[in-house]
Homo-oligomer: A and B are copies of this chain.
Amino acid sequence: MAKTGSRSFELASKPRIVSSASYVGKKEGEGPLGDRFDVIMKDDTLGLKSWEKAESRMFESAVRVALSKVERTSEDLDCLIGGDLLDQIVSAGFAAREIRSPFIGLYSACSTITEALMIGGMLMDGGFIDLAACAGSSHFSSVERQYRFPLEMGVQPVPTAQRTVTGAGCMLLSREAIGENKQKCFQNIIVSAGTMGSVEDFGITDAGNMGAAMAPAAADTIAKHLADFGRSPCDYDRIITGDLGVFGSDMLFELLEKRGIGIRSVHNDCGKLIFGDDKSVVCGGSGCGCAAVTLASHYLPLIESGKLKRILILATGALLSPVTSMQGESIPAIAHAVVIEHRSNGGSER
Chain A contacts to B: CB under 8 angstroms:
1-3, 6-7, 9, 49-50, 52-53, 78-79, 83, 86-90, 93-94, 96-97, 100-109, 115, 119, 122-123, 125-130, 146, 196-201, 319-324, 327, 329, 332, 334
Contact = CB atoms under 8 A, between A and B. Distances in A.
CB-CB nearest 3 A-B residue pairs: A126-B126, A102-B196, A93-B319
B199 A319 contact: no
Residue of A3, A49, A128, A323 with most chain B CB atoms under a 10 A cut-off = A128
Nearest to A123: B122
By secondary structure, the A interface counts as: mixed
B319 A100 contact: no
B127 A320 contact: no
Nearest to A194: B128
Given A104-B106, A126-B126, 20 more contacts: A2-B127, A3-B78, A7-B79, A53-B327, A86-B321, A86-B323, A87-B323, A94-B319, A96-B198, A96-B199, A96-B334, A97-B200, A97-B201, A101-B198, A104-B108, A104-B119, A104-B196, A106-B106, A122-B122, A126-B128
Most buried by B among A9, A50, A105, A130: A105
A103 B109 CA distance: 13
A107 B89 CA distance: 7
B332 A93 contact: yes
Contact of A324 (B9, B90, B198, B334): B90
A70 B96 CA distance: 38
Given A102-B197, A104-B115, A107-B83, A3 B90 contact: no
A274 to B, nearest CB: 23
Contacts of A327: 49-50, 52-53
B319 A105 contact: yes
Contacts of A79: 7, 196
A138 to B, nearest CB: 13
A126 B123 contact: yes
Contacts of A332: 93-94, 96-97
Most B CB atoms within 10 A — which of A86, A102, A197?
A: A102
Contact of A321 (B7, B87, B109, B324): B87
A94 B324 contact: yes
Contacts of A323: 52, 86-87, 90, 146
Contact of A126 (B96, B122, B324): B122
Contacts of A9: 128
A198 B49 contact: no
Nearest to A49: B327
A327 to B, nearest CB: 5
30 contacts: A1-B128, A3-B78, A3-B130, A6-B102, A52-B323, A52-B327, A83-B107, A87-B87, A89-B107, A90-B324, A94-B319, A94-B324, A96-B199, A97-B199, A100-B198, A102-B196, A102-B198, A103-B196, A103-B198, A104-B106, A104-B108, A105-B106, A105-B115, A105-B334, A106-B106, A122-B123, A122-B128, A123-B123, A123-B126, A126-B126
